[in-house]
Structure 1
């Protein structure tokens, strides 16, 4: 009987030890689980903070369409300044005037930089583009050139005046000829809107050729040596001409034909685009334009 009691007591004692041990293990497991969950939560929060910081540091990317000279060159110069402000630009270079607006319309570009205000407005009216002018950057004074004619007094009767097929430039060119007393425009028409049909007086019977693509004007300058050829400054520079030295007639810096950053109307408040304009109007970029193009391209600040 005594041995039986001792055996029962020992069994109960062992059972109690096992139960206590199991409870301790469960507590430790629970503690480890809680610690693990806290670690995971801390890690998740850390990852979220890192992702947030990485997102804040990622540059905003803009794809800008531009003609090669001077627009693409100016944008290249502005790249490091824009990078400091968190903006990365990709420059798509065009040789034709038509495609940058088509690509802006279809979303290939975020903005373009190649056209002056009258051309932009004529394209909007003609093609229905819903574009806005984000800001003016520079003026490219239009020049009239000739291989053989070196003085206005040498212009003979019937001389051809060759200009691009961009009607938006016709009033600009005719105004230059009027300024030099070579013709007179109808008073009822604004100079910016004038066409060859608005020439009221043409004492030298100048012949107007208006069906040439702007990019081919330098070729006509080389080939039609006794003609007057109105060449856009960007194409003149590409052809090795120095507008301030080689142009027979050159537009002044007061020109209203300001080259602008154009964008879709839906992006008119896009901060990165306005920062782009601010950088292109900065003192560093304006100084670059003045020194690089020596008056052939004139920066604007408004």
Structure 2
């Protein structure tokens, strides 16, 4: 009886040890398969698009966390400081200017979509209808100035000085302005929809993300809109040491996939355009 009890006790201990060992192995295996990354993004449409690819990334072993920012200042600071793993809110000219001003080295990991900047007016139905000395309200986001100038140039309202790179142009680069349009550019980007709704200025230039967020339709309500051939496509930005990060590569691949690009086209009805 004593031997039987001893053998029985040993069997129970061995079984328990085996179960604990198996349990530990399973937990380790599970954690090794999942990688968590945090991506900073503007609320609309960036965070929405990221949320769309979350289920697909989960299948790929990537736990995507989204941190929403309400401005264009903090996302790059957070990325450079290591608080997030990537961000998705800006175009390349903006990134280049930020790097130059802040001695940064953030890089482009891939283009996803274009938010066509548009001109809105409650007073005129066509950009060419603007009268002499009309006031055009523009945000203080200087990397967008080339986009604004291109719209007015294409409408035949201004010309640009020869030899000027339009992606880094500003209002001092206007060569001719027959109607003497007054470009006022001292407003926060997120305030532009409210300025338009309050009937401020003769025309208001609004980024598509803030237009959509403010309940506006850039395609149907604007008097002029940026062409899809624009070089201002929105990108995923990362630190240089993350360029071989497999989880981020999976993120970019999911965002650039045909299914996601088709979803962007359908979801935003032209207010946001696929990059590919």
What TM-score do the two structures reach when normalised by structure 1?
Answer: 0.83
Contact 1:182–1:202 under 8 Å retained in 2: yes
Is residue 2:163 matched to residue 1:188? yes
- What is aligned with 1:55? 31
- What is aligned with 1:286? 261
Q: Shift of the alpha carbon at 1:47?
A: 5.9
Q: Shift of the alpha carbon at 1:154?
A: 2.2
Q: What is the 5 A alignment of 1:224-263?
A: 224-263=199-238
| 5+ residue gaps, structure 2 | none
Write out per-residue CA displacement over residues 67-116 of structure 1, whole angstroms, 9 at most, x where no aligned residue.
11100111111110110101111111111110111111122111111001
User: SS of the counterpart of 2:52?
Assistant: helix
User: SS of the counterpart of 1:230?
Assistant: strand
- What is aligned with 1:115? 90
Q: Shift of the alpha carbon at 1:176?
A: 0.8
- Number of residue pairs the alignment of both structures matches: 271
Contact 2:136–2:201 under 8 Å retained in 1: no
- What is aligned with 1:81? 56
User: SS of the counterpart of 1:65?
Assistant: strand
Contact 1:145–1:229 under 8 Å retained in 2: yes
Q: What is the 5 A alignment of 1:132-143?
A: 132-143=107-118
Is residue 2:69 matched to residue 1:94? yes
Structure-2 change in CA distance of 1:288 and 1:229 (3 Å): same
Q: Shift of the alpha carbon at 1:152?
A: 3.1
Aligned counterparts of 2:169 and 2:275: Cα–Cα separation in 1: 25
Q: What is the 5 A alignment of 1:137-152?
A: 137-152=112-127
Q: Shift of the alpha carbon at 1:188?
A: 1.7
Larger mean CA deviation between 177-186 and 239-248 belongs to: 239-248
User: SS of the counterpart of 1:284?
Assistant: helix
| 5+ residue gaps, structure 1 | 1-24
